[in-house]
């Protein structure tokens, strides 16, 4: 008998993958967590029925959350990742030698536990000496840490369940206050095919808080539509002003110095959403 996992991405559209094995299927204190082995994408972390990351395409998302912001900031030493319990963004942050401390605040400790067990290539950096892992509410952590971080990255699920508060103007204001005077923040902001209204509202809210706001995109096959956006808010530094020739080549599979500015060139229908 064949077993298939299907994510219903809208009421009338979804993606499906053939399952080889189910490792974990558990209701945590915060969400339904599944860790499955698929034939096409390898190990897959699913939260509340939504694909969070997979062995095959995880590098795209994690690299694009981390590197555009870290190469925009001239000297990122203190970095906060909200969510991201799988450890992928932390792994990419640690590729920057200027980073002295990387803090991960994940509300669901089970995500960290099972990612270390079943996604070691993604979660391996969580045990690095520069990393502090905190199991707590990222919203409250930001509220309690004013003027602390050079860069804050929000690696959240879609705005459902425990992530609802991470898509509000109040949260962005809190991030602004938790950043140092030239700080930068970045968040994943879903896809323009099915969530255009979300991209519009986030862009509007972030523009009310940060003087420099840029949207960029990447191709993530297992995310709804494959076209995924990220929103960057900056107090001083513009990612489009970065000298690409000064960006070093890192051990990456998707991000490159040549892609840094190219990712901010939006398809026209996306550009129209954020004007």
Residue of 155, 182, 197, 243 marked catalytic: 155
Residue 31, marked binder: yes
Known active-site residue 108: no
Residue 108, marked binder: no
Residue 137, marked binder: yes
Residue 29, marked binder: no
Rg (CA), the chain: 18
Residue 77, marked binder: no
Output the CA angle 152-153-157, nearest 5 degrees. 140
Distance in angstroms (rounded) separating the CA atoms of residues 257 and 249: 7
Residue 155, marked binder: yes
134: Cβ contacts below 8 Å, ≥ 6 apart: 103, 104, 105, 106, 141
Distance in angstroms (rounded) separating the CA atoms of residues 253 and 74: 23
Residue 182, marked binder: no
List alpha helices for 119-256, DSSP H: 120-123, 138-143, 169-178, 196-207
Residue 158, marked binder: yes
Q: Annotated binding site, which residues?
A: 31, 62, 86, 106, 137-138, 155-158, 162
Q: Annotated binding site for S-methyl-5'-thioadenosine, which residues?
A: 31, 106, 137-138, 162
Active-site positions read: 155
Q: Annotated binding site for spermidine, which residues?
A: 62, 86, 155-158
């Amino acid at each position: 008998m064949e077993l298939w996992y299907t994510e219903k991405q809208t009421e009338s559209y979804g993606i499906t993958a053939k399952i080889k094995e189910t490792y974990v299927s558990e209701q945590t204190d915060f969400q339904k967590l599944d860790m499955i082995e698929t034939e096409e994408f390898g190990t897959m972390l699913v939260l509340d029925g939504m694909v969070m990351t997979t062995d095959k395409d995880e590098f795209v998302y994690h690299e694009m959350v981390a590197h555009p912001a870290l190469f925009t900031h001239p000297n990122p030493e203190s970095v906060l990742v909200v969510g991201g319990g799988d450890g992928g963004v932390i792994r990419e942050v640690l590729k920057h030698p200027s980073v002295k401390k990387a803090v991960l605040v994940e509300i669901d400790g089970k995500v960290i536990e099972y990612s270390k067990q079943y996604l070691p290539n993604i979660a391996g950096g969580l045990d690095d000496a520069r990393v502090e892992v905190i199991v707590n509410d990222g919203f409250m952590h930001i509220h309690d840490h004013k003027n602390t971080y050079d860069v804050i990255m929000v690696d959240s699920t879609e705005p459902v369940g425990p992530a609802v508060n991470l898509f509000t103007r109040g949260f962005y204001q809190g991030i602004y206050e938790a950043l140092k005077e030239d700080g930068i923040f970045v968040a994943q902001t879903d896809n323009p095919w099915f969530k255009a209204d979300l991209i519009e509202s986030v862009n509007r809210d972030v523009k009310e808080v940060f003087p420099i706001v840029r949207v960029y995109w990447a191709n993530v096959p297992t995310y709804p539509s494959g076209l995924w956006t990220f929103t960057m808010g900056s107090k001083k530094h513009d990612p489009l002003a970065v000298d690409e020739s000064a960006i070093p080549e890192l051990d990456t599979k998707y991000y490159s110095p040549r892609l840094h500015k190219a990712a901010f060139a939006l398809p026209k229908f996306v550009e129209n959403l954020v004007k």
